Chain A
Amino acid sequence: MAKVIVVTSGKGGVGKTTTSASFSSGLAMRGNKTVVIDFDVGLRNLDLIMGCERRVVYDIINAINGDVSLNQALIKDKNCDNLYILPASQTRDKEALSLEGVGRILDELKESFDFIVCDSPAGIESGAFMAMYFADEALVVTNPEVSSVRDSDRILGILAAKSKRAVEGREPVKEHLLVTRYAPKRVNTGAMLSVVDIQEILRIPLLGVIPESESVLQASNSGTPVIHLEKSDVAEAYRDVVGRFMGEDLPMRFIDEKAGFFKRLMGGN
């Protein structure tokens, strides 16, 4: 049975699209037929992060309105065989999406995909609501920073009260915490909320921690999801996230300060 996963956060700029791109790529690299949908109508960016911006012809609104078939709107990813991208419309506004239309598209996608990843826009308006309404599971992307934690809590409240699963009284949406832009060094000096603090406040299971790194910008500059980068902490952290999501028991990495050269020389690790 296909799973619908929303990548959400409330707050903007915390790494939803970066996560959607790498998470969906990671699922596809493991052989799962995966589609990633950009719900940010009017401000689409997933296409840039995936590096397919010049191949966008049709979008989700065209598919919903029946201008084209769903297959015509799907873009095949350049890195992964099993991955497809459904871009947002850039010329319409968020009101062009309807619950009925989105539900219809998702039902059709469920027939041929294992995972449907919904990249939510920031905020709690209609676009964000559409992205989360049909979710079976949610990746709540949170930065170690007060406004992001508060917004994540608000999103968790909406998932628990207004998602389709909640409204129909079914098993609630399965929530996963993903802490991004984490700087262990600043945590150790008491200048940044720790992952333990965030977990204690939000009270949902931790799926992973993505360290703050230059490689995220490097990846977005070149239009390659960061999970594909060689020798990158962030890429490894995202691969771990996908592994854990698939049920593997992997230790949390990148939550401790990197040992300096001298420390390593002296036998510390």
Chain B
Amino acid sequence: MSMIAGLIEYLRGNEKKSASVAKERLQIILAHERAGRGTATPDYLPALQEELMAVIAKYIHIDRDSFKVQLEKHDQYDVLELNITLPDKINVRPSN
């Protein structure tokens, strides 16, 4: 807000009260902090990735780098995303 605009606001007497600024700021930051609380990276994610990789490696040769597990948070639901890039030539292991 420019100084003149601020002055006009002030003279009109409708400059924002500091308490309502405080309330607004708190509502925004807390909504953000509550959303991220404890759910950003669940503890089980690394173990899940290891086990999934072990299962797939039984059948297909893959690089560690070509395997990604991600958890995305949305409002009403979470998405567990597995992204596996298969090699150009699939090297199938002989089954017993």
Count of chain B residues with a beta carbon within 8 Å of a chain A beta carbon: 15
Out of A157, A189, A193, which one reaches B23, CB within 8 Å?
A193
The stretch among A69-77, A94-102, A119-127, A145-153 that forms the contact with chain B is: A145-153
Number of interface residues of A (CB under 8 A): 18
* Contact A191-B17, Cβ < 8 Å, known A149-B26, A150-B26, A201-B23: yes
Q: Which B residue sits closest to A154, measured CB to CB?
A: B33
Name which of B19, B20, B27, B38 has the most chain A CB atoms within 10 A of its CB. B19
Closest CB-CB distance, A188 to chain B, in whole Å?
Answer: 10
Enumerate chain B residues within 8 angstroms of A193, measured Cβ to Cβ: 19, 22-23
Q: What is the bound-complex CA distance between A200 and B18, given in angstroms? A: 17
Return chain B residues, CB-CB under 8 Å to A145: 22
A-B CB contact pairs (8 Å), 28 listed = A145-B22, A146-B22, A146-B26, A149-B26, A150-B26, A150-B33, A153-B30, A153-B34, A154-B33, A157-B33, A157-B34, A157-B38, A161-B37, A161-B38, A187-B19, A189-B17, A190-B17, A190-B18, A190-B19, A190-B20, A191-B17, A192-B19, A193-B23, A194-B19, A197-B19, A197-B23, A201-B26, A201-B27
Residues of A within 8 A of B (CB): 145-146, 149-150, 153-154, 157, 161, 187, 189-194, 197, 200-201
What residues make up the interface of B, taking CB atoms closer than 8 Å to A? 17-20, 22-23, 25-27, 29-30, 33-34, 37-38
